[in-house]
Amino acid sequence: MQNWQGGDPGDILQQKINEFLVRFKGQKPPLKMLSTVVVVLLALWVFSGSFYQVGTEETGVVLRFGHFTGFAEPGLHFKLPMGIESVYLVKTGRVMKEEFGFRTLQPGERTVYSKAGLDEESLTLTGDLNVSDLEWIVQYQIADAFKYLFNIKDPKSTIRDVAEAAVRKAVGNSNVTEVLTTERALLAAAIEKDLQATLNTYDIGVRIVTVKFQDVNPPESVKAAFNEVNEAEQEKESLIFQAREQYNREVPKASGVAKSTILEAEGYSLERINEAKGNTARFIALYSEYSKAPKVTRERLYLETLEKVLPRMEEIYIMDSKGAGALPLLPLRGNKEVTKP
């Protein structure tokens, strides 16, 4: 309990009595003066014990004859003196921190840490029977000052024991790779949840703020081998990334070429089908006309064929079935010049 004038009432009373005795040493003080001094000193003692100060980060737990009566907010307060009421100050506005696997020797811009003698606290066994060297912190805040003071004998030690048990449980269910590399954040979140649930069953009025791994390493004896394995894992991940990059570049390109080829084939197929259908329709139309007038249609087809063939020929000879000779036909439609004899 913190008193408003910063001194203990018993010490002040003893000091005043000593001053009074020194003043009247060897003399008999007047009875009236002695009574007055005693009354003043008693009043001073009662008055000094009736006020207390609650800090800005604190909550006062007020007990009257040992029974809880309420909380005191920050500020100057009055209480019943002579032990009738007592006040316990709890720092509910401050985030507390517990360190595991290391201790802070000198906080500041360049904080000094120490791991000496903390191997049993930091070394943990993983699920695949490997050992990891963990350093972590637990930050918590007192949510209920009365429960924190009176529901359990030593809340700080309890929080440390439960936190260490939760960490060893989570690490023991994971392999060393997850603990040292990929799953650290997930493990810390699971430990925070498990720790809060366990403390809630104890009902000690504490809220866990965070559980954070400060440093996770393999033991010194195997650190070099682990670093080699870690480098190999990183190289593997790099090669996988490069392969995925190559895949993402080549597969879309090949897919586009395949789609283009398919479209060209479909276009060619459609062209050939339409051409075949046109030829079929033309043949059916010709056959229909041929059926109506075979001779005329045959002669027309013959003449149309000659119109296509004859222009391609350089020399044309007309054979008369009744004559004996061949009659040459001059290529009047050609590009050759005709000279006069």
**Domains of the chain, residue spans:** 9-90, 95-218, 298-329
Helix (H, G, I), strand (E, B) or coil at 278: helix
Nearest to 44 by CA among 3, 1, 85: 3
pLDDT tens-digit series, residues 286-322: 788 778 888 888 888 888 888 888 787 776 666 666 6
- Superfamily holding 95-218: Band 7 domain (3.30.479.30)
Quote the mean pLDDT of the chain.
Answer: 80
> Using 50, 70 and 90 to split pLDDT, how confident is the model at 141?
very high
Q: Which residues pair with 213 in a beta bridge?
A: 136
pLDDT at 16 over 90: no
Q: Supply the pLDDT for residue 95.
A: 94
Task: Encode pLDDT of 142-198 as tens digits.
Answer: 999 999 999 988 999 999 999 999 999 999 888 877 787 767 888 899 999 999 999
Does residue 1 have a pLDDT over 50? no
pLDDT at 26: 53
Predicted local confidence at residue 341, as pLDDT:
41
Q: How many residues does the chain have?
A: 341
Alpha-carbon distance of 62 to 90, in angstroms, equals 11
- The model's confidence at residue 234, banded by pLDDT at 50, 70 and 90, is confident
Q: Does residue 83 register a pLDDT over 60? A: yes
Residue 91 has pLDDT above 90, yes or no: yes
DSSP conformation letters of 39-73: HHHHHHHHHHTTEEEE-TT-EEEEEETTEEEEEE-
Contacts of 81 (CB under 8 A, 6+ apart): 46, 47, 49, 50
**pLDDT beyond 50 at 240:** yes
What residues contact residue 136 under an 8 Å CB cut-off, 6+ apart?
A: 100, 101, 167, 188, 211, 212, 213, 214
Percent of the chain with pLDDT over 90: 35
Q: Which two tokens stand for residue 93?
A: 């506005």
Cβ neighbours for 66, distance < 8 A, ≥ 6 positions apart: none
CA 264 to chain centre: 49
What does 300-337 look like in DSSP terms, one character per residue? HHHHHHHHHHGGG-S-EEEE-SSSSSEEEE--TTSSSP
